[in-house]
Homo-oligomer: A and B are copies of this chain.
């Protein structure tokens, strides 16, 4: 496969704004993220991020009420480990810098950057920095510095330690992060390591950092037609675990580990697009950063910005289950398992949250969180999005259907599905609608955040129905586990009765599912008279203004259609056409679903056009805030579009379906997925699909409507 499309260079990018480059070229391994800072003049956003290392602070409300989230959880930005000071013979710092080159080798996970530095005499030297993160021993980061004399001829002196003067700026923008003033920095006395313990006053966590620096780099080095090279190995410890200075790997071994890891990664996850090298590269970038972001220890998850920035405070959202998990489940199920295990680790907090919300049995997962407690200060677009419960159940369902792994169900899957199902059955209530007793959910918010506090949101109700249905299936298939969890026949009866009675709003006249109980009564947003500069609408209209119109921020009812594929093609086409007209795609989570659905509907041009708008979201800085971190859910969404949209991959009734929905502009496409333990290489051409089994047992599948067995 092409390795060139796995190189990302400055030329490929929209901007060279330092903070933007820091996000784009950030390196990570699920545990630690290193923003690609200029080591001489880092931006104020530069720094190191440890997955799940957060500080708490009080949330301040203009008016507070019972059950509101109490504490902010804010990911900590740690000192920037790329930073270095270089001095000339006269002790003047080379304090001006110009980026000359930056490129990321995604085949090996190595970042190369080159800067021209100059001192106050305008004498220049060149600094090359090669960085790589340990992918197995994930506490280690390898840095290789090379300094070459240019117009400057003389000695240099090098200073390498933790710069502790960077701060995060306070901001009103909820997509950013807040300032933290409650960190303690303590210097540690570790052999061969310059080291530091960073402790949070309120969340009572700590992380230790170390820099293994050649002892003599602080000495004057001669730079006369020559160069100075040295390695630094940085250690960034796991939360609450002490680091030790023994058995440090060297730069080369970290690099080799990285190369091996990414080689295997691409072997399992490769996507190749024939006919558009730029898109080919973009999708590689997306998958590379997606993988880098995911916590792999069962205690951490994927934050909205991954480990590339501190935007959204490092919180985990439903993004994981609905936008990122599909990729991992189909290519790297071990990560998918750990993402589910993280949710299991916060099940006690979810049970407590359900009580706070007045529901006496079952669990309600926090809308945004790190430690399991709700951290969102605006409940209409957070706590009211009860659907996160079913989203998590859906991720378990997806995992189970694709991998057939029963162990996860026994270990924790059934328990999560059961607790969420219990929540729905106690949270909702029966009500007479159209002459029938139907089960309803009141005052909820669906995925579309331009509507809130509605009754019977279609997506929510459909997902709750699924959640109950899946719990019934698992209880029947895993009777022993169910028994251990205290499930009895009354529970099963109750779940069944409720599942069958859940109300799904449908508009007879329009012949389509209705977003909520009374959505179509509202007027349609006046799109014709809305100036272009008023998008995204949320920045220009009061929530009450948005809520009283039919206007969608993102796929809502259509998302349910996409997940369940349970309505006729004719109805789906009608629903698609209706909701598309009222959707602004002001959320980065929207277009990928519209694209995948369009592909499924055979609307090839539309599918392709949405895909183009979303595949390069960060590379072209579509939303103007990539500097705060990458839009990780969108990276996952682009995989969903390619594989589940263009590639027509679906698992239905325990059968793998492949449908060729290749965009007209492409010559072909190759994807790799794992199904039931077998690794498949699927090549799409305009009139052909070729499926090859790379490893594993034979699989029955349906390709373009025809049953086949691939051996």
A64 touches B174 (CB 8 A): yes
Contact among B67, B69, B540 for A541, CB-based, below 8 A: B67
How many chain A residues sit at the interface, stated as a range, is 35 or more
Q: How far does the alpha carbon of A440 sit from the alpha carbon of B549 in the complex, in Å? A: 12
Determine if B356 and A63 form an interchain contact, defined as CB atoms under 8 angstroms apart. no
Contacts of A440 in B (CB 8 A): 521
Q: Which residue of B lies closest to A455 (CB)?
A: B518
0/1 string, A35-58, CB within 8 A of B gives 1: 000000000000000000000000
Residues of B within 8 A of A539 (CB): 66
Q: Is A409 an interface residue (CB 8 A)?
A: no
Residues of B within 8 A of A429 (CB): 522-523
Residue in A65, A538, A540 whose Cβ sees the most chain B Cβ within 10 Å: A65
Partner pick for A62 among B67, B377, B542, CB 8 A cutoff: B377
Contact status A66-B521, CB under 8 Å: no
Q: Are B63 and A542 in contact (CB under 8 A)?
A: no
Would you call A453 and B455 a contact (CB within 8 A)?
Answer: no
A window 191-232: CB within 8 A of B: none
Q: Is the CB of A357 within 8 A of B63?
A: no
Interface residue from B172, B379, B431 paired with A522 (Cβ < 8 Å):
B431
CA distance A518 to B444 in the complex (A): 14
Task: Judge if A388 is at the interface, Cβ distance under 8 Å.
Answer: no
* Residue interface mask A56-83, B partner, CB < 8 A = 1: 0001111111111100100000000000
Which residues of A379-436 are within 8 A (CB) of B? 379-380, 383-384, 429, 431-433
Is B521 within 8 A of A443, CB to CB? no
A629 to chain B, nearest CB (A): 18
- Shortest distance in angstroms between A10's beta carbon and chain B's nearest beta carbon? 36
Q: A429-B522, A521-B433 are in contact. Are A542 and B377 (CB under 8 A)?
A: no
Residue on B with the closest CB to A454? B453
Q: Measured between alpha carbons, how far is A503 from B543 in the docked complex, in Å?
A: 23
Question: CB distance B357 to A443 under 8 Å?
Answer: no
Residue in B closest to A427 when the chains form the complex, CB atoms:
B548
A–B complex contacts, Cβ < 8 Å, 18 sampled? A60-B60, A60-B61, A61-B62, A63-B376, A63-B377, A66-B542, A67-B542, A68-B542, A356-B542, A357-B545, A379-B543, A429-B522, A431-B521, A431-B522, A440-B521, A442-B518, A443-B548, A453-B547
Q: A61-B62, A383-B544, A442-B522 are in contact. List 20 more A-B contacts (CB 8 A).
A: A61-B377, A62-B376, A62-B377, A64-B172, A65-B538, A66-B538, A67-B541, A67-B544, A357-B542, A357-B544, A379-B543, A383-B542, A384-B544, A429-B523, A431-B523, A442-B518, A442-B521, A443-B544, A453-B453, A453-B544
Chain A positions within 8 Å of B, measured between CB atoms, are: 59-69, 72, 172, 174, 356-358, 376-380, 383-384, 429, 431-433, 440, 442-443, 452-453, 455, 517-518, 521-523, 538-545, 547-548
